[in-house]
Chain A
Amino acid sequence: MANLKEIKRKIGSVKNTQKTTNAMKLVSSAKLKRTEELAKRSRVYAAKLTELLNEIAQKMQQSNVEGIDNIYFRNIQNPKKVDIIFITADKGLCGGFNSQTIKRTNKLIEEFRANDVKVRLRAVGRKGIDFFKFNGIELNDEIIGLSAAPDFKQAAEFISDIAESYVNGETDKIILVHNGYVNMITQEVREEQVLPVDTSKLELNSVVSSELEVEPDDDDTLLDALVKRYVEYTMYYSLIDSLAAEHSARMQAMDAATKNAKEMVKELNVKYNKARQESITTELIEIISGMESMK
């Protein structure tokens, strides 16, 4: 009989877990919708900004024979110092979302270390910070709370500090790693070179536009301002992208958990029924054998 009670208790607990995971799934899907909308709106802005940067870079390349002569567009073959920024979630329970980013970051670190490149890590999100702290790897920057609620001002402040260290020559390259949103069921780890601006990605030699006038007259003022904005926005957009991916990953994980719980309840029910049947059979046998012996 004790067994019966235990199974019943187990069924209750699994059912409760199922309720929780189901609720979390619903919350995530609602949040995902909101974040997706935000991402959609800022995507237009990001696209236009890149387009504009593209065109100015193109113009500069046309006027300079040796290519673009600007600190933000340097072409560094062998960087000596690299900053890696990676974005993870503050919370877990979202499948492999965080571990994927961490894995990619680790791979990058190893690659750079193998080439004798100094790596500095800057972490956004509690999960990534916890992981590297646990493994005794030093982090240069830690930000908690930004990945759960992307804020343009905060993101801009964070990235401009790093961009400044790039301008000062403290670092040769800035790489941003995050897990991005593809659609409701897929996420993809993205790796972006923030600075120097990756000229190979800009379609430099596509449409050669007509003569471009620039105001204020000296190119650098405009370009500096534009690159700064571009970097800030890349950071902000990555945060939004990461958040959308987090919600979709959590939605999936919770959906799977709910399904598994359902399956488990089913199995436990069968077990319970079997145990009950067994106890009834035993009781019957006892009664019958008692009667037989009385004859």
Chain B
Amino acid sequence: MELMKLEIITPNGVIFDGDVTQVNLPGSEGEFGVLAGHSTLVSLLDTGVIVYNRADGREVAVAINSGYVKVDEGKTTCIVDGAVALSGEDTHIAQAIEKAKKLLKSTQASSASIASAVSKVEKIGKSF
């Protein structure tokens, strides 16, 4: 599959910067997926989970509270306020999940979107 660049940036540093095959984003108007060659787009991001597939096929999830995304043909840049990465390599996955849940619950988003994001995080947590 064709690769594209993905950057996830928070005020506390860069969470991810590398090649991915696909990324799913929690846009304010609904979730959407991005593949390489997507048309230029700017969107608000809501409380939710960003899921991307790295070049080696591994799926990684990042819980975010809110932010923006800019999509270009070859590059996607997410500028988020707070994020917790949930990746399989992390030995402290339980802690990461707790942190992610706390982050999601601390936002002012509607309880429905928080609940759906939290359940998603839990599902991801079980898959490890």
Interface residues of A (CB under 8 A from B): 41-42, 44-45, 48-49, 52, 55-56, 152, 209-217, 221-222, 225-226, 229, 233, 236
Using A41-B12, A152-B11 as known contacts, say yes or no to A52 and B42 having CB atoms under 8 A apart.
yes
In whole angstroms, how far apart are the Cα atoms of A236 and B11 in the complex?
10
Q: Does B9 contact A (CB under 8 A)?
A: yes
Number of interface residues of B (CB under 8 A): 21
- Counting chain B CB atoms within 10 Å of each CB, which of A55, A209, A212, A221 scores highest? A212
What are 7 A-to-B residue pairs whose CB atoms are below 8 Å?
A: A42-B11, A44-B14, A45-B9, A48-B9, A49-B79, A52-B68, A215-B27
Q: Does B77 contact A (CB under 8 A)?
A: yes
| Contact indicator A213/B9 (Cβ below 8 Å) | no
Q: Does B107 contact A (CB under 8 A)?
A: no
| Contact indicator B27/A213 (Cβ below 8 Å) | no
| Contact indicator A44/B9 (Cβ below 8 Å) | yes
Name the prevailing secondary structure of the A interface residues: helix
Using CB atoms, name the residue of chain B closest to A210: B40
The residues in B between 9 and 42 inclusive whose CB is less than 8 angstroms from any CB of A are 9-14, 27-29, 39-42
| Contact indicator B39/A215 (Cβ below 8 Å) | no
In whole angstroms, how far apart are the Cα atoms of A209 and B68 in the complex?
18
Partner among A48, A55, A216 whose Cβ is within 8 Å of the Cβ of B29: A216
| Contact indicator B44/A48 (Cβ below 8 Å) | no
Using CB atoms, name the residue of chain A closest to B14: A44
Question: Contacts of A236 on B, CB cut-off 8 Å?
Answer: 11
Q: Does B70 contact A (CB under 8 A)?
A: yes
| Contact indicator A215/B9 (Cβ below 8 Å) | no
Question: Contacts of A210 on B, CB cut-off 8 Å?
Answer: 39-40
In whole angstroms, how far apart are the Cα atoms of A51 and B39 in the complex?
18
In whole angstroms, how far apart are the Cα atoms of A52 and B41 in the complex?
11
* Nearest Cβ on chain A to B22's Cβ, whole angstroms: 19
Partner among A41, A214, A226 whose Cβ is within 8 Å of the Cβ of B13: A41
Question: Contacts of B29 on A, CB cut-off 8 Å?
Answer: 215-217
| Contact indicator A221/B44 (Cβ below 8 Å) | yes
* Nearest Cβ on chain A to B53's Cβ, whole angstroms: 22
B1-13 CB mask vs A (1 if < 8 Å, else 0) is 0000001011111
Question: Contacts of B14 on A, CB cut-off 8 Å?
Answer: 41, 44
Partner among A56, A211, A221 whose Cβ is within 8 Å of the Cβ of B39: A211
Using CB atoms, name the residue of chain A closest to B10: A45
| Contact indicator A48/B79 (Cβ below 8 Å) | yes
Question: Contacts of A233 on B, CB cut-off 8 Å?
Answer: 11
In whole angstroms, how far apart are the Cα atoms of A55 and B40 in the complex?
11
| Contact indicator B40/A215 (Cβ below 8 Å) | no
Partner among A49, A55, A216 whose Cβ is within 8 Å of the Cβ of B44: A216
Q: Does B87 contact A (CB under 8 A)?
A: no
Using A41-B13, A44-B14, A45-B79 as known contacts, say yes or no to A222 and B70 having CB atoms under 8 A apart.
no
| Contact indicator B11/A211 (Cβ below 8 Å) | no
| Contact indicator B11/A45 (Cβ below 8 Å) | yes
In whole angstroms, how far apart are the Cα atoms of A233 and B11 in the complex?
9
Question: Contacts of B39 on A, CB cut-off 8 Å?
Answer: 210-211, 213
* Nearest Cβ on chain A to B74's Cβ, whole angstroms: 12
Using CB atoms, name the residue of chain A closest to B77: A48
| Contact indicator B11/A225 (Cβ below 8 Å) | no
Question: Contacts of B10 on A, CB cut-off 8 Å?
Answer: 45
- Counting chain A CB atoms within 10 Å of each CB, which of B10, B44, B79 scores highest? B79
